Structure formats: structure tokens, C-alpha cells
């Protein structure tokens, strides 16, 4: 699985991130897993065409020592479809900027 990982979290950072995600993304359905909806402006042509598969999202997995962002773009309504794929360069950059902005806001990274 392709992922963007921030590891070696310090004491207290896990709770700051978890609290932020719970408040702004919504409580996770599975412990530590959050689904973040992708911006519609960066969908691929096939993702934009597949209205029945929308919304599209990526997953954040948070553990006491790391944050992992999957670079697989999933459908909110289907398990298998040709619109589900690894992030394009634009989507990958958006995901990285998304999580980095949270970590900067929480003063975890400079």
C-alpha cells in the first residue's frame, strides 16, 4: 500500500491529532481510521463521471506513534470499480498538504 507516513510522534501529539480529527472530520467508525472526503476539484475524469461512486475519500490511520495517510482513493459507495485507484499527482499533493496543514496548525511540525 502506498502511504504518506509521519512517524515518531511525541507524547501528547497523538491526543492533539485525534481530538482535531474527531472534531473536524468526525469520530472514526473503526478505531483510529478516519475517512477524508477528496476535494471535487481534483477528481479524475472517471471519478467525476461516476456519480454513483461518490464521494471519494482517502483514509487516515492514527496510532500513538504515527499518522498514516493512504494514497488509495476509495469510493464511498462501492468496493470495486475502475474509478478506485491510487492518487494522481495532484491528489497526492492535496493529501500531503491536507495533513501537513493540520500538523502545522497543531504546532507538531514547523
* pLDDT tens digits, 40-79: 999 999 999 999 999 999 999 999 999 999 999 999 999 9
- Dihedral, 74, 79, 84, 86 alpha carbons, nearest 10: 60
Instruction: Output the pLDDT for position 91.
Output: 98
Q: Which residues contact 2 (CB under 8 A, 6 or more apart)?
A: 70, 71, 72, 86, 87
Reported confidence tier of residue 30, pLDDT bands at 50, 70, 90: confident
C-alpha cell at 61: 490511520
Average pLDDT over residues 13-33: 91
Instruction: Output the pLDDT for position 39.
Output: 95
Reported confidence tier of residue 110, pLDDT bands at 50, 70, 90: low
Q: Do the beta carbons of residue 11 and residue 93 sit within 8 Å?
A: no
Any idea where the domains of the chain sit in the sequence? 3-105
> pLDDT > 70: what percent of the chain?
99
> b/e per residue, 70-108, with b = 16+ CB within 10 A?
bbebbbeeeeeeebbbebeeebbebbeebbeebbeeeeb
Mean pLDDT of the chain: 95
Whether the full predicted model's pTM is greater than 0.85, yes or no, is yes
Partners of 61 in the beta sheet? 33, 68
Amino acid at each position: 500500500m502506498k502511504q504518506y507516513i509521519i512517524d515518531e510522534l511525541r507524547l501528547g501529539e497523538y491526543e492533539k491529532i485525534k481530538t482535531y480529527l474527531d472534531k473536524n472530520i468526525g469520530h472514526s467508525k473503526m478505531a483510529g481510521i478516519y475517512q477524508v472526503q477528496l476535494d471535487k476539484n481534483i477528481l479524475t475524469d472517471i471519478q467525476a463521471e461516476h456519480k454513483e461512486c461518490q464521494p471519494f475519500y482517502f483514509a487516515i490511520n492514527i496510532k500513538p506513534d504515527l499518522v498514516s495517510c493512504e494514497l488509495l482513493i476509495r469510493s464511498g459507495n462501492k468496493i470495486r470499480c475502475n474509478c478506485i485507484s491510487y492518487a494522481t499527482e495532484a491528489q497526492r499533493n492535496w493529501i500531503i498538504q491536507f495533513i501537513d496543514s493540520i500538523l502545522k496548525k497543531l504546532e507538531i511540525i514547523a
